[in-house]
Chains A and B, each alone.
Chain A
């Protein structure tokens, strides 16, 4: 009796295993259009409504489990994402700084090539300090006398004139900005050919400049560009080369007479956000070149 039971058990096992292997071999060997595949597809079609119904019916339970799981995972994910966010913020900040510097460098490059500043031996430097005083509009740069920088050298960036070197040490220099109360430069409205000088509106805090001593002030219009006049007389040499953009005429205050007319100029350079500037260490290069060509 026991042997019969054992034989029956083994026979059933052998039959099932053989059936499985037979199915496996036949299924594996036939093409996707074969009989077993067709039976499988038919069964799937028949089972699909049951599965769909069960799927809909069990969705709330699934969502509930999912909610528990999500809640458990949420804290870890929040911490991980907070870390990622901080890292990305830092990266974005670095990229923004790099982008701004790149734009400034691009402007300088354009000015050097198309504006002809290369002849003035520009020394590129970085602004690392700025005076907080309204009255003393200065910045400090990381290049000094050892790099060829000297007092009164003009300083520009990709947008236009920034100011001039006020004092210099071995590795650093203080630059007086256009808006400093002691600043002044001979200037020109090239469209009208009207000469004058640029001075800051002291203590105004607006960053505006004044274009005064203009012979024919009525000729100047809003929107006119103002550039450095350069040296027009050998007796009175200017420290600034010709035709460096200073700014644009922003508004004109009409007075009682022609002498009361005040021409306000907005600086071309953004003086509040300076990172990279150039010091023109040979500002009289064009004069020397002219003198060489003259004979």
Chain B
């Protein structure tokens, strides 16, 4: 990804809108008895599209914003989302999965890591509530719900960041196949 001021601006806007949407609407709508959590999906999508370093930075900033807005312990969500953004970026850098459903798997894994990581950190910070099966059920249902949302969220992030992404060889191949190797603009 080409890091420009415009790209940073878009990422910031994406993060801000996603966080506000999450806090004001999505957190208040429950499906399967749990609300969806867009945070790990957005961060994982950004990491998956842009790479590990921008993903980690985006995750850190997004987490910091969430912690601030929710008056939570600063640094907790940042730490978890940094790891998610970095991990998703590394998956792209190391494997470069071509399958169309790869973002779904990444989104599901990111949600599971976020849920388990936040739970673990809360216990490490001294939460004294006993761990019940209810917590496990909540995490499982959130993962299922986020898995269903992973693809649309990824598509949205990709659309927002498309001008700054390196040209995808697969996309280039598809365009060559359908236009005879010429750009639609040059044919016109």
Q: Which of B29, B52, B73 contacts A9 (CB 8 A)?
A: B52
Q: Does B79 contact A (CB under 8 A)?
A: yes
Q: Does B68 contact A (CB under 8 A)?
A: yes
Contacts of B24 in A (CB 8 A): 51, 54-55, 58
Cβ of B56 and Cβ of A13 under 8 Å apart?
yes
Q: Does A27 contact B (CB under 8 A)?
A: yes
Contacts of B76 in A (CB 8 A): 20, 24
Per the bound structure, the CA–CA distance linking A115 and B90 in Å amounts to: 94
Per the bound structure, the CA–CA distance linking A295 and B20 in Å amounts to: 103
User: When A and B form their complex, which 6 residue pairs have the shortest distance between CB atoms, in order from nearest?
Assistant: A24-B75, A23-B75, A20-B79, A58-B25, A27-B74, A65-B29
Given A58-B24, A65-B29, A69-B30: A43 and B74 interface contact (C-beta under 8 Å): no
Cβ of A28 and Cβ of B79 under 8 Å apart?
no
Q: Does A294 contact B (CB under 8 A)?
A: no
Per the bound structure, the CA–CA distance linking A9 and B86 in Å amounts to: 9
- Which of the four size classes fits the interface of chain B? 20 to 34
Cβ of B78 and Cβ of A13 under 8 Å apart?
no
Q: Which of A9, A22, A26, A43 contacts B69 (CB 8 A)?
A: A43
Chain A count of residues within 8 A CB distance of the other chain: 33
**Segment 21-78 of A: residues with Cβ below 8 Å from B:** 21-28, 36, 39-41, 43-44, 47, 50-51, 54-55, 58, 61-62, 65-66, 69
Q: Does A85 contact B (CB under 8 A)?
A: no
Q: Does A8 contact B (CB under 8 A)?
A: yes
Cβ of A16 and Cβ of B21 under 8 Å apart?
no
Q: Does A287 contact B (CB under 8 A)?
A: no
Per the bound structure, the CA–CA distance linking A28 and B74 in Å amounts to: 8
Q: Does A12 contact B (CB under 8 A)?
A: yes
Given A16-B60, A47-B69, A62-B25: A54 and B20 interface contact (C-beta under 8 Å): yes
Q: Does B28 contact A (CB under 8 A)?
A: yes
Q: Does B31 contact A (CB under 8 A)?
A: yes
Contacts of B131 in A (CB 8 A): none
CB closest residue in chain B, given A25: B75
Contacts of B5 in A (CB 8 A): none
Q: Does A19 contact B (CB under 8 A)?
A: yes
**Segment 66-96 of B: residues with Cβ below 8 Å from A:** 67-69, 71, 73-76, 78-79, 82-83, 86
